[in-house]
Amino acid sequence: MKNGTPRTQGKETEVPVLSLIFPGPEKWELWQGPSPEALAPASSAEKPGDLAKNRGEIFCFPGSAFSSLPLWSPVADGIPAREQAALNLEGRGLLGADPGSAVWAVDVIRRQPAGSGEGERELSASAVLHLQLSPDWILEGIRRHEIPGRVLPAPGTGPSVVLRRELGRYVLDLYDRGRWLHSQTLLAREMGEEAVREIGLLLSQMENEGVFQGCTEMVAATPVPAAVWEIFHRLANLRPAQGQGKPAFLLRDPAWDLLPKEVADRRQSQKTQKRIRTMVTWAVGADLALWGLALLFVIVPSLRLGWLEHGLAPLRPEYRRLFQTKKTWEELRSLTDPAGSALEVLHQVAAPLSGDRSKMAIKLTSFTYSPAELVVQGVTAQGEQVIADYLSALSSHPALRDLYAWPPKAHVEGQGQNFLFTITAPSTAPQPEKKEGTQSR
C-alpha cells in the first residue's frame, strides 16, 4: 500500500543468482538460490553435465578427483605459506612429474611452536587435483571449482568429524577450528565394523602426527544403522550423533578455484582467439578507414570540379566566343600586329647585316613571308660559322624571338667557294584549321 492506495503485486518469479553442482549421496545434485545459505535442491542427474544449464555455476569435485593432505610446514621469514606448502607437496611426490602444471590449493589452519627451540610451524589444508579427470567433470561456464568439504559448514569450532555419502561412497570430512582440514573417501562400501575400523585408524594416524587431536564426537550426515552406533565408541573412540535437516552451504574466503588444465587451456585459447579477432577487426576497420579517406581525397576534388563546372556552365558560351575571337586575332597577327608585318620582319631580318660595324658578310637572296612560316635564303663565302652566328642573332632578337620557332641549325649547301643557306622558321601564331574536303596546294 502506498499513499493509502492498495497496490496489486503481480506474480514475480525470483531468478536464482547462485547455482551449485554438488556430488550428492547417490547422484549429482543442483542447488539454486539467492545466496549460499538459502540454496534449495532443484534437480539431480547421473552426470553433472545434465545439470549445467546456466552460466556461472559453482562446481564441487568429488573426493575421487583430488588428494587432500594436512601439512606441517616450517615458518620462515620472507617465504609465503604457499611456497612452503609447494616444497612439502613436491617432496612427497604429490605434484607429479611437472609441478609447474599441477592444480592445487592450500589454506593455513593454525600456527604453533615447533618445539625444541626450532621456531614455529604452520598446519595447512591442501588439495591436489588429479591429472586424469572424468570427461563428465570438465564443464564450460563454471566460474568456481571447489571441493565439498569446503562448501559444507563445520559442525563446531573445535576438532570435528562429519560422515556423509558421496555418489555411493562414504566420505569422512575433518574440520579444525571451524575450517576444513581433510577429506577421506573410505574403502569400505558398507557402514559396518570394517568402515568404523578404517575411520579409527585414520584418526589415530592424524593424532600421532599432531594434526588432529581432541575430537570425541562424529556427526553423521547420512543414516547409520543402529547396530553400528556402539562400534564407533569401541573401535574409533567416537560418540556418533545424527545430523538434522538438509545440508547448508558456505562459500569460504579466500575462494579456491581448482581449474582443470583442460578448461584453463581452452579458456586461454578462446582469449587468444578473441584477441586475434579484435586485432583483425581493428586492422580491417583501420584499412577501411584509410580506403575511405583515400576515396574522399579522390571524390572531394571531383565533386568540387563538378561544382565549378556547374557554376561556370552559364559562362561557357561567352568564354568560347572570347576564345575564338582571341584565336582569330592571333591568326591574323601578320595583318593586325605592326611588329609582325612583312615589312617590319624584313627590316629585323636584315638588321644584323646592315650598318658600318657589321662583320657578317652575308648576302640575302630570298625572303619569303607567310602567316605560316618565314623562309630566309642567302649566300656567304666565309663559312658555316657565319651562318650559325646569323641564325643565333635572329633567334635572340627581341622582336623576332616570340614571333617564330627558330630551328637550331640552318640548311647549308656548298657551291664552289660559296655557301648557300636556307633558314625556315614556323610562325608561333595559331594556324587556321583546315576544313574537311579541302586540299592545300
Residues 136 and 262 in one domain: yes
Residues 43 and 147 in one domain: yes
**Are residues 240 and 226 in contact, defined by beta-carbon separation less than 8 angstroms?**
no
Residues 266 and 345 in one domain: no
Residue 351 to residue 223: CA distance in whole angstroms = 139
Better-predicted residue by pLDDT, 417 or 201: 201
**Are residues 182 and 41 in contact, defined by beta-carbon separation less than 8 angstroms?**
no
Residues 94 and 148 in one domain: yes
- Residue 170 in any domain: the answer is yes
Averaged pLDDT of the chain: 82
Of 213, 246, 279, which residue sits at a domain end?
A: 246
Residues 115 and 38 in one domain: yes
Give the pLDDT of residue 403: 83
Q: What percentage of residues in the chain have a pLDDT greater than 70?
A: 87
Q: What is the arithmetic mean of pLDDT over 303-310?
A: 78
Domain residues for the domain of 190 are 154-246
* Total of domains in the chain: 3
Strongest mean pLDDT among 47-56, 287-296, 317-326, 382-391: 382-391
Residue 424 to residue 374: CA distance in whole angstroms = 6
Residues 83 and 210 in one domain: no
Asked if pLDDT for residue 102 goes beyond 80, the answer is: yes
Give CA angle at 210 (207, 214), nearest 5°: 55
Residues 338 and 370 in one domain: yes
- Residue 189 in any domain: the answer is yes
Give the pLDDT of residue 377: 92
Residues 204 and 171 in one domain: yes
CATH number of the domain to which 38 belongs? 3.30.420
Residue 69 to residue 211: CA distance in whole angstroms = 10
Asked if pLDDT for residue 436 goes beyond 70, the answer is: no
Q: What percentage of residues in the chain have a pLDDT greater than 90?
A: 15
**Are residues 228 and 239 in contact, defined by beta-carbon separation less than 8 angstroms?**
no
In which band, very low, low, confident or very high, does the pLDDT at 441 lie, cut at 50, 70 and 90?
A: very low
Residues 124 and 41 in one domain: yes
What is the pTM (predicted TM-score) of this model? Answer: 0.59
Asked if pLDDT for residue 120 goes beyond 60, the answer is: yes
Q: 142: which strand partners?
A: 57
Q: What is the arithmetic mean of pLDDT over 123-140?
A: 87
- What is the distance, to the nearest Å, from the Cα of residue 405 to the centroid of all Cα atoms in its chain? 67
CATH number of the domain to which 187 belongs? 3.30.420.40
pLDDT digits (tens, 9 = 90+) for 161-211: 999 999 999 999 999 988 999 999 999 989 889 999 999 999 999 888 888
Residues 251 and 398 in one domain: no
Residues 134 and 119 in one domain: yes
Of 198, 230, 246, which residue sits at a domain end?
A: 246
At 162, list the grid cell.
562429519
pLDDT digits (tens, 9 = 90+) for 255-299: 887 888 877 777 777 777 788 888 888 888 888 888 888 787 788
Give the pLDDT of residue 104: 86
- Residue 262 in any domain: the answer is yes
In which band, very low, low, confident or very high, does the pLDDT at 439 lie, cut at 50, 70 and 90?
A: very low
Residue 267 to residue 259: CA distance in whole angstroms = 10
- Residue 299 in any domain: the answer is no
Residues 98 and 148 in one domain: yes
